[in-house]
Amino acid sequence: MPELPEVETVKRTLENFILNKKIKDIEVIYPRIIEDDVEVFKQRVVNKTFLKIDRVGKYLIFILEDIAFVSHLRMEGKYQICTKETSLSKHDHVIFYLDDDTQLRYNDVRKFGRMKLVDKESYKTLKPLNQLGKEPFEADVNEIYQRLKNKDTAIKTALLDQTLLAGIGNIYANEICYAMHLNPQTKAKALSKKRVKELIEVSSFILNEAIKQGGTTIHSFSANGIDGLFQVQLKVHMQEKCPQGHDIKKISLNGRGTYYCPICQKARR
């Protein structure tokens, strides 16, 4: 699933291709991608211009003149800029025809991604964005500590809770735990305030480094053909050895594949 760095990379890439371009028409091949009535969506968006792209957590917000729509890529959604000569893929589900004869195509192998119309001025106060926690870059140590100190769940599971910290997914949660020498099965409530401060700092650092490298390319993530390079810096996720040469162990934690080093990330009481 694309996480915060991947979605930020998509945002920055698309800004170079679609801003100030008008949508001449929309073709919706798989209607379930659109959470609104498809005809209403088309009526509100056709003949409007892309003015800005925002990102909140893992969500993209495309802002037009008098309306906006939120897009969540879910598992394997991606946007691609194509010419009209480019053959249609069987996984292209929504096509925006732009006034320079290029096309913005939403491609999604699993068809889990969604788009929804929102008010362009108040979208952050509406569902689903108003249910998200702050991103690590803006998180308050005291607030996160208070949220964690009563949580009996594993810290890895807590990191995946988007209402706690927005933008962290499975890959970066594994990497954050390793960077902190923290066993992912450690109870969230066991972290001291000092460790929570470190958690926020480490999370911010790793996400920023991944953004600089264009995200992590695993399976099908690609920002219009621009593949992320952070995967070459992954320490534990999908690795066989950690940087210290120890064997990586993979377990399922709350249904999520979890990679960690039992030596570097020893469980503590």
Nearest to 9 by CA among 225, 256, 241: 225
Alpha helices in 28-164 (DSSP H): 38-45, 141-148, 155-159
Token digits for 232?
């070459």
Q: Kindly write down the DSSP assignment for every residue of 25-81, as one continuous string.
A: EEEESSGGGBSS-HHHHHHHHTT-B--EEEEETTEEEEE-SS-EEEEE-TTTEEEEE
Q: Are 165 and 135 in contact (CB under 8 A)?
A: yes
Q: 12, 22, 195, 256: which one is catalytic?
A: 256
**Coil/strand/helix, residue 168:** coil
Question: Is 3 in the active site?
Answer: yes
Active-site residue (options: 5, 6, 8, 58): 58
Q: Clarify whether 262 is annotated catalytic.
A: no
- What amino acid is encoded at 86 in this protein? T
Q: Which of 3, 6, 8, 175 is catalytic?
A: 3
Q: Residue ranges of the alpha helices (H) in 153-257?
A: 155-159, 170-179, 193-212
Count of positions (residues) in the chain = 269
With contact defined as beta carbons under 8 Å apart, do 258 and 174 qualify? yes
Q: How far is residue 74's CA from residue 106's CA, in Å, rounded to a whole number?
A: 12
Whether 256 is catalytic is yes
Residue 58 a catalytic site member: yes
Helix, strand or coil, per DSSP, at residue 43: helix
User: Distance between CA atoms of 13 and 11, rounded to whole angstroms?
Assistant: 5
Amino acid at 43: Q
2, 5, 136, 184: the active-site residue: 2
Residues serving a catalytic function are: 2-3, 58, 256
